[in-house]
Amino acid sequence: MVSSLWKVDDEGTSILMSGFYDNFFSGLFVRDALHRARVDFLSENRAAGGDGDPLEWGAFVVAE
Q: pTM (2 decimals)?
A: 0.87
User: What pLDDT does 36 receive?
Assistant: 97
Q: What is the tens place of the pLDDT at every residue in 14-53? A: 989 999 999 999 999 999 999 999 999 998 888 877 777 7
C-alpha–C-alpha distance, residues 3 and 27, integer Å:
20
pLDDT-based confidence at residue 12 (cuts at 50, 70, 90): confident
Number of residues that this document lists for the chain: 64
Extended strands (E) in 1-64: 2-4, 60-62
**Degrees, nearest 5: CA angle 33-14-22:** 35
Looking at the structure of the chain, the number of domains it has is 1
Q: What is the predicted pLDDT for the residue at 38?
A: 93
Secondary structure letter of residue 4 according to DSSP: E
Question: Does the structure show a pLDDT above 90 at 9?
Answer: no
